[in-house]
Amino acid sequence: MSVWLGPNSILVEVIQLDTRALMKVTQRVHGRRYLIGYCATIGELTRHVDLAELVEVIAFPG
Domain presence at residue 17: yes
Q: Give me the number of domains the chain comprises.
A: 1
Owning domain of residue 35:
3-55
Residue 56 is which amino acid?
A: E
pTM: 0.89
pLDDT tens digit at each of 62 positions of the chain = 799 999 999 999 999 988 999 999 999 999 999 999 999 999 999 999 999 999 999 988 87
Residue 43 within a domain: yes
In a domain, residue 20? The reply is: yes
Q: Give residues with Cβ within 8 angstroms of 3, minimum separation 6.
A: 11, 12, 13, 14, 56, 57
47, part of any domain:
yes
